[in-house]
Amino acid sequence: MTEEVFSYERLTAFTRGIFRSIGCSEEDAHMAAKGLLSADIRGIDSHGIARLIGYVRLWEAGRANTSPHIRIIHETPSTAVVDGDSGLGLVVAPFAINTAIEKAKQAGTGWVSVQHSNHFGIAAHHALQAVEQDMIGIAMTNASPLVAPTFSTERLLGTNPICVAIPAGEEPPFVADMATTTAANGKLEILQRKNESAPAGWIQDKTGRVSTDPHELKHGGALLPLGGDKEHGSHKGYALGAIVDIFSAVLSGANYGPWVPPFPAFMAMPEQMPGKGIGHFFGAMRIDAFRPAEDFKKNMDKWIRRFRSARPMEGYEQVLVPGDPERIMESERLEKGIPLLNAVVKDLQALSDKFGIAL
Amino acid sequence: MTEEVFSYERLTAFTRGIFRSIGCSEEDAHMAAKGLLSADIRGIDSHGIARLIGYVRLWEAGRANTSPHIRIIHETPSTAVVDGDSGLGLVVAPFAINTAIEKAKQAGTGWVSVQHSNHFGIAAHHALQAVEQDMIGIAMTNASPLVAPTFSTERLLGTNPICVAIPAGEEPPFVADMATTTAANGKLEILQRKNESAPAGWIQDKTGRVSTDPHELKHGGALLPLGGDKEHGSHKGYALGAIVDIFSAVLSGANYGPWVPPFPAFMAMPEQMPGKGIGHFFGAMRIDAFRPAEDFKKNMDKWIRRFRSARPMEGYEQVLVPGDPERIMESERLEKGIPLLNAVVKDLQALSDKFGIAL
C-alpha cells in the first residue's frame, strides 16, 4: 500500500485531459474533472480519480456517451425530469442540479429526477452547488445492487447515497453525505487491500448469516443496510435505500432495484431492464422561501455551535457536525497534496500512455 | 401487563369526546381523534391513545391551545411556513400537509415548515393524506432531546421521525415511517414495563458507554442514533436526526436541538428557547409532475413485487416492503379490536370520570 502524492491542480488537469480525449467538450471535461476530484480532495478516495479508468472503460464499451444531448423531458414550475442521454453522471448531474436551482429561484424549490445517466461521483459535490446560492441542496443516486434488504439473501439495492447540504452564516455549511448502508463499499475495498476482517454488521454471506470476510460479496454475500440487522433497525436503512431508488429511478424512468446497470464495464448488463440507465434525484430549496436568510443563518450558526460544543465522551476531543471531517481533509490535501495508492497511479499511467496526456 | 380490547370505533368516539371537552371544535376533535387512533390501529401503541392523557395535561398546563388561529406566515408558489399558534400537533399537521398538497396541485410540489406546534402523533398518518391525491407524502417532526449525537454524552436530538409514503397501483402504498434512532422510545418503554434488558446498541449511559438498562435515560443516559456506534454508521443516524431538526425548526422558527419543549407537562420548559414550540416539516410531490401517474404506478407495482418475492433468509417467510407490518396490524385490529394495557385503560377511565365522557 505505498503511495505517491500529487497536487490537486495536477490531478485535475490530467483528468480534464483524459475526459477531453474520450470526446468531452472543453466545458464538460472541466466540469467532470472538478466533480471527480471533489471526492479525492474531501477524502472519499473510492469515488475520485481511482474511478477515472472505469469511466474510460464505460466509454470504450459504448455505455457512456461523451457528447450527450441532455434535456428536460417533462416539467412543472417546481419539478423536472431530465434525460441524461447516457452521458457521464459527472456531466448530467450538474445540468440537473442547475435545473433544480433555476426552478427554486422562481417557485421557491426545485426537484429534478434523472433517467438515462451514469455514476455521478460524490453526491455532496452536486448538493453544494445549491448552497452557493443560499439554498439547501439535496442529491441522491441509485447504483447497482450490492445491498440485501432486511431478511433477504438477494442483493436488490445499491449503496444509494443521500446528501443534504445546508448553508450556515459564519460557520461552514452542514453537509451530510452518506451511503444508506452501515459502511460504504469504499471502506470494504480498503479492508480487502489490507486483507483485514470487517466488523460484524457490515456484510452477510449468501445465506444471510453475519460475515466478517471483506471478500464475501464475490461469493454471493451482500452489504447490509444502515442498522445492520433487524434488532438494530436495518429495516430503516433498507427503507432509506429504497426511497433513494424510487425517487431516482421510478419517478424518472431509469432502472431500479436489481436492474440498475453495473459501473464496471466488464460486467454484463441486467436482462429485461425496465428503464433507461441509472437514476438520480436532486432538490434545491431557497432558504428565503421559508424565512429571511439572515435569520436562518444566525440560527444555523447557533445550532452548529451548540452541537460542536456538546460534552464529548472520554477519549474524544469534540462532537463533530456533518461535513467537519471532509472539510478538515480538504484543507489538508489542498496544502499537502492527494496521496494515491500505487495501484491507482499505475492505472493513471496506463491512461497517460494510451492518450498521450502527461500525468 | 394484562390487557383489555376495545373497538376502533369506540376509542375514536371517546377520544373525540375528550378533545371536545378540552375546547376543540367538532371538526378539530374529529381530526385529532382520527390522527391519534391511526397510531393504535397500525400497532404504534406508544403514539396513540396512550398519549391522550398527556395531551390533556398539556392543555391543563396552558401549553396547548385548543382553539388556535393556525395560519401561513410566509409563502412562495411551492413553499409555506405555518404558525401553529400552540395548537395540538394533531390539528396543526393536517392544516400543514393540506397546504403542501394545495401547493403541489399548482406548482408540482409543496413544502411546508411549521413552527409553534405540539406533538403530532405518527408521521405516517399525515404523509398518507398526500398519497390519497396521487402524491408522494413526506412528514417529519422534531421532538424533545433523548438522543446523543455520535461521541456526545449530552442528549441534543429527539427521536425525530421521517415518513415517506409513496402510492402504487394495484399494490398498497410504500410507507416508511421511522424514528432516526436504532430503536424508537416506545420499544424501550415496553422493555421497561417487562423489566427486560435492551440489546446493546440502543442506549448509552451518561458517560457514553454501551448500556442495556432500559431505565438508563432516567440516569442521564441517551438513545443512540440509527447505526448505534461510529463503526456501524451512527454518524449517519445522527445526521438524519439533525436534518429533521433543521428542516422542522431552523427553517420554520421553532425550537431545535436541546431547546425543544418536552411532551410531559410536568417537565420544565427549556431556558432561553430560540424559537416557538416544536417544529414539523411536510412535503407533497405530485406524481404526474414527473411522469404519467399510470407509468409510475405500474413500475411501483413491479418494484414492490420484486422486493417482496426476494429469496428470504432461512426462518423467514418473505421479505417485507415498508408499510407491510403496519397494514397487517391494521386489518387485524379493525377486525378484532385494539388491545390496551391496564395502565392505559386506567388513564382513560380517569379522563372518562373527569369529563363525563363514557369510555
Instruction: Give the pLDDT of residue A1.
Output: 58
Q: Is residue A177 part of a domain?
A: yes
Flag whether residue A144 sits within 8 Å of chain B, measured between CB atoms.
no
**CATH number for the domain including B130?**
3.30.1370.60
The 3-class SS string of chain B reads CCEEEECHHHHHHHHHHHHHHCCCCHHHHHHHHHHHHHHHHCCCHHHCHHHHHHHHHHHHCCCCECCCCCEEEEEECCEEEEECCCECHHHHHHHHHHHHHHHHHHHCEEEEEEEEECCCCCHHHHHHHHHCCCEEEEEEECCCCCECCCCECCCCECCCCEEEEECCCCCCCEEEEECCECCCHHHHHHHHHHCCCCCCCCEECCCCCEECCCCHHHHCCEECECCCCHHHCHHHHHHHHHHHHHHHHHCCCCCCHHHCCCCCCCCCCCCCCCCCCEEEEEEEEEHHHCCCHHHHHHHHHHHHHHHHCCCECCCCCCCCCCCHHHHHHHHHHHHHCEEEEHHHHHHHHHHHHHHCCCC
Last-in-domain residue among B166, B191, B223: B223
Q: Is residue B197 part of a domain?
A: yes
State pTM to two decimals: 0.98
| Cβ atoms < 10 Å from Cβ of A79 | 29
Query: Which of B106, B147, B307, B318 should one mutate to test binding to chain A, selecting the residue with the greatest count of A CBs within 10 A?
Result: B307
Domain count for chain B, please give it. 2
Does B167 share its domain with B282? Answer: yes
> Which of A201, A300, A319 comes nearest B149 by C-beta?
A319
B336 is written with which cell numbers? 378484532
Nearest CA in chain A to B254: A299
Mean pLDDT value across residues A41-54: 95
Is residue A235 predicted with pLDDT exceeding 90? yes
Instruction: Give the pLDDT of residue B288.
Output: 98
Is residue A129 predicted with pLDDT exceeding 80? yes
- Which residues pair with residue A87 across a beta bridge? A65
pLDDT band for A242, please (50, 70, 90 cuts): very high
Does B122 share its domain with B218? Answer: no
pLDDT, tens digit (0-9, with 9 covering 90-100), for A142-173: 999 999 999 999 999 999 999 999 999 999 99
CA B143, CA A335: separation in Å to the nearest integer?
42
Does B155 share its domain with B198? Answer: no
Instruction: Give the pLDDT of residue B1.
Output: 57
Instruction: Give the pLDDT of residue A187.
Output: 86
Nearest CA in chain B to A238: B322
* Global ipTM: 0.98
pLDDT, tens digit (0-9, with 9 covering 90-100), for B77-102: 999 999 999 999 999 999 999 999 99
Distance (Å) from the C-alpha of residue B349 to the closest C-alpha of chain A?
A: 35
Instruction: Give the pLDDT of residue B187.
Output: 86
Q: Is residue B160 part of a domain?
A: yes
Q: What is the residue-level pLDDT of chain B in tens, covering all 359 positions?
A: 578 999 999 999 999 999 999 999 999 999 999 999 999 999 999 899 999 999 999 999 999 999 999 999 999 999 999 999 999 999 999 999 999 999 999 999 999 999 999 999 999 999 999 999 999 999 999 999 999 999 999 999 999 999 999 999 999 999 999 999 999 888 888 888 888 999 999 999 999 999 999 999 999 999 999 999 999 999 999 999 999 999 999 999 999 999 999 999 999 999 999 999 999 999 999 999 999 999 999 999 999 999 999 999 999 999 999 999 999 999 999 999 999 999 999 999 999 999 999 99
**CATH number for the domain including B201?**
3.30.60.50
Query: Which of A112, A203, A235, A240 should one mutate to test binding to chain B, selecting the residue with the greatest count of B CBs within 10 A?
Result: A240
Residues of A in contact with B202 (CB under 8 A): 232
Distance (Å) from the C-alpha of residue A283 to the closest C-alpha of chain B?
A: 11
Flag whether residue A135 sits within 8 Å of chain B, measured between CB atoms.
no
Is residue A289 predicted with pLDDT exceeding 70? yes
Label the pairing between strands A71-76 and A79-83.
antiparallel
How does the average pLDDT of chain A come out, rounded?
A: 96
Nearest CA in chain B to A149: B319
Instruction: Give the pLDDT of residue A186.
Output: 82
Does B80 share its domain with B176? Answer: yes
The residue range of the domain holding B264 is: 68-181+227-290
pLDDT band for A3, please (50, 70, 90 cuts): confident
Residues of A in contact with B226 (CB under 8 A): 226-227, 233, 236-237
Q: Is residue B266 part of a domain?
A: yes
In degrees, to the nearest 5, what angle opens at C-alpha A203 toward C-alphas A197 and A204? Answer: 115
Q: Is residue B107 part of a domain?
A: yes
Contact assignment for A228 to B228 by CB distance below 8 Å: yes
> Which of B201, B303, B314 comes nearest A246 by C-beta?
B303
Q: Is residue A106 part of a domain?
A: yes
Last-in-domain residue among B275, B290, B305: B290
Distance (Å) from the C-alpha of residue B340 to the closest C-alpha of chain A?
A: 24
Contact assignment for A250 to B74 by CB distance below 8 Å: no
> Which of B178, B228, B311 comes nearest A232 by C-beta?
B228
Last-in-domain residue among B265, B290, B315: B290
Residues of B in contact with A153 (CB under 8 A): 310-313
Flag whether residue B228 sits within 8 Å of chain A, measured between CB atoms.
yes
Does B206 share its domain with B251? Answer: no
Query: Which of A83, A246, A286 should one mutate to test binding to chain B, selecting the residue with the greatest count of B CBs within 10 A?
Result: A246
Does B135 share its domain with B243? Answer: yes
Is residue A261 predicted with pLDDT exceeding 90? yes
Residues of B in contact with A236 (CB under 8 A): 176, 178, 180, 226
Residues of B in contact with A275 (CB under 8 A): 299
Q: Is residue B208 part of a domain?
A: yes
How many percent of chain A have pLDDT more than 70?
100
pLDDT, tens digit (0-9, with 9 covering 90-100), for A193-227: 888 999 999 999 999 999 999 999 999 999 999 99
Mean pLDDT value across residues A313-324: 96
Does B107 share its domain with B252? Answer: yes
Q: Is residue A150 part of a domain?
A: yes
Residues 160-219 in A contacting B (C-alpha not used; CB under 8 Å):
164, 166, 174, 176, 178, 180-183, 199, 201-202, 207-208
Does B235 share its domain with B197? Answer: no
Does B160 share its domain with B193? Answer: no
Contact assignment for B310 to A156 by CB distance below 8 Å: yes
Residues of A in contact with B199 (CB under 8 A): 231-232
